[in-house]
A and B are shown apart, each in its own frame.
Chain A
Amino acid sequence: MTEVRPLLDVAERELRTVVRTPTLMLAGVGYVLLVGGIGWLGGTGAYLGLVLDLLTPVEVLVPVLSFAFGYRAVLGDRESGELATIRTYPVDGYWYVLGVYLGRAVAVVALVLLGLAAAGLVVPLTGQPQLSVIASHATVDSVALYLRYVLATTLFVLVVLAIALLVSAAARSTRGGLALATGAVVALAVGLDGALLGALTGEGVATGAPASLLALSPNSAYRSLVFELSVAPTGVVVPDGPTALLSMVALCAWVVVPLALASRLAWR
């Protein structure tokens, strides 16, 4: 079947599954409260300060949330026998994986946006801006900076969820899936960044490598994108890194390649 209908039906099934799974909903609510809380407790009173407050925690929390929602998506169907059942239907593997991805992405993106919206309310709702960190750039602070940050974060969510689905398609057991997911989260948050930073600072094998290499790491690409879109326009000096365009291309590749691999692995 070459229609888009199976994709939407699989996506709807995934979304309903997530909504009807209390533990996932609890994790989602926890994420929203945590991110919202960070925004409110930071109390910078400016969008730029809020972005800087949220950047690192979100960089860690998004992979945790995305893997919680994604690592069992394909694996669960495989273990229950439903994947074998679905394979006897006239549905291609890539439609199935895209449907799973779409359904889970709607849920995770909605939760992440909710968290960022909760945090973002701190700026318009607090009367006295506290701009001690970025006082000299207060005039260029605007909600546009925050919206760009939200956009970059949405792209980051899509990247991490795609990687989570790849893990889910590659795993053959719950234990294996959990181990792979944990390894992937650690690799995303620490490993790849560490290796690339090591290379760039002369501690790795590729001494003197260009800063654009940071785009190879999803986290670094995301961070660079946020710096380029939401921080640099204010005049604040940001670390050397890939351009916004390169970061976006890299992040898009981190969506497409894992999903393509997951499609192949799911049907094996």
Chain B
Amino acid sequence: MTARTSTDDDGRTDGEQTDDGQRGGRQPAVEVDGLSHAFDDLDVLGDVSFSLSPGTVACVVGPNGSGKTTLLRAVADLLEPDAGDVSVGSGDGRRVGYLAQQSAFRGQFTVAETVSFYGALVPGPVDTDAILERVGLSAVADRRVDALSGGMRRLLGIAQTMVGDPSVFVLDEPANGLDPTMARRLRTVIGDIAAGGGTVLLSTHDLHAVDRLADTVLLVDHGELVATGPPAELLAEADASTLDAAIETLGYGGGTAGVAPGLHGGARQ
């Protein structure tokens, strides 16, 4: 299935399917067209298309091995797809802020040193203090990374994505291992990014977070985009009262992806 999602000028998704991914004359922040990829003879993504307007928070949801990480890596320009086009942001500076699923930083450095290092890789000055303030890590700026909790390290990863003021943020399971307090802080940070005009594309298994955060949901199963739209629209389409039930109806039951119809072998991330 090829689906497109667009958002209006307020950055809210209306779920209307469009052909050009643009609305109100605004360029989409992310445009993915016919994206397909395979690892050797293992097809992982098949003809995925969508576009996101600036200020959108899009949550990629799907079972383990459904191709979420591959999709995110392609959008972050870390993977050359076998077919299709990915267009993200514009300009000469950093276009995508990327948080890997397994993201760690050198333990010998402090929080501030880590952000400063990344700041040195982009043109122009970077306000390390302001970035740490935004993610709530100012108090531990001088603490070594190896002395941080898992949640704080994740927030440091989010801080790193902000360096260079990218217009698009690709976050691979950002809430992984976060306690409820940290997860709440993370949602606030992501909301702030979107409110500032940033486009966030994140993968998650946390449907409560999807419900609270997502302007649009991209439901991926067996490497294909099987449903897309704002949570309310998915609920209506599936005639369900919860996202969990809607996703069960529309795409997958939450299990691990098996062999994809029309794809060779199983799909993996």
Q: Kindly state whether residue A148 has any CB partner on chain B within 8 Å.
A: no
The reply to whether B121 and A81 contact each other, CB–CB distance below 8 Å, is no
Contacts of B92 in A (CB 8 A): 90
The reply to whether A85 and B103 contact each other, CB–CB distance below 8 Å, is yes
What 1/0 flags go to B99-142 for Cβ under 8 Å of A? 11111111011000000011011110000000000000000000
Which residue on A lies nearest to B106, using beta carbons?
A17
Contacts A1-B123, A9-B117, A88-B78 known; A16 to B108 CB distance under 8 Å? Answer: yes
Q: Shortest beta-carbon distance, A8 to chain B, in Å?
A: 8
Contacts of B122 in A (CB 8 A): 1, 89-90
CA–CA, A3 and B97, complex, Å: 21
The reply to whether A88 and B96 contact each other, CB–CB distance below 8 Å, is yes
The number of chain A residues touching the other chain, given as a range, is 20 to 34
Q: Which of A213-228 contact B (CB under 8 A)?
A: none
B120 in complex: contacting residue of A5, A84, A85, CB < 8 Å? A5
Interface of A is mostly: helix
The reply to whether A88 and B105 contact each other, CB–CB distance below 8 Å, is no
Contacts A9-B117, A85-B98, A88-B77 known; A80 to B105 CB distance under 8 Å? Answer: yes
Q: Kindly state whether residue A52 has any CB partner on chain B within 8 Å.
A: no
Q: Which of A64-89 contact B (CB under 8 A)?
A: 80-82, 84-89
The number of chain B residues touching the other chain, given as a range, is 20 to 34
CA–CA, A6 and B117, complex, Å: 9
Q: Shortest beta-carbon distance, A97 to chain B, in Å?
A: 14
Q: Kindly state whether residue B254 has any CB partner on chain A within 8 Å.
A: no
Q: A9-B117, A88-B98 are in contact. List 12 more A-B contacts (CB 8 A).
A: A6-B120, A9-B121, A13-B117, A80-B102, A80-B104, A81-B104, A82-B104, A85-B99, A85-B100, A85-B103, A85-B118, A90-B92
Which residue on A lies nearest to B80, using beta carbons?
A268
Q: Shortest beta-carbon distance, A17 to chain B, in Å?
A: 6
The reply to whether A89 and B103 contact each other, CB–CB distance below 8 Å, is no
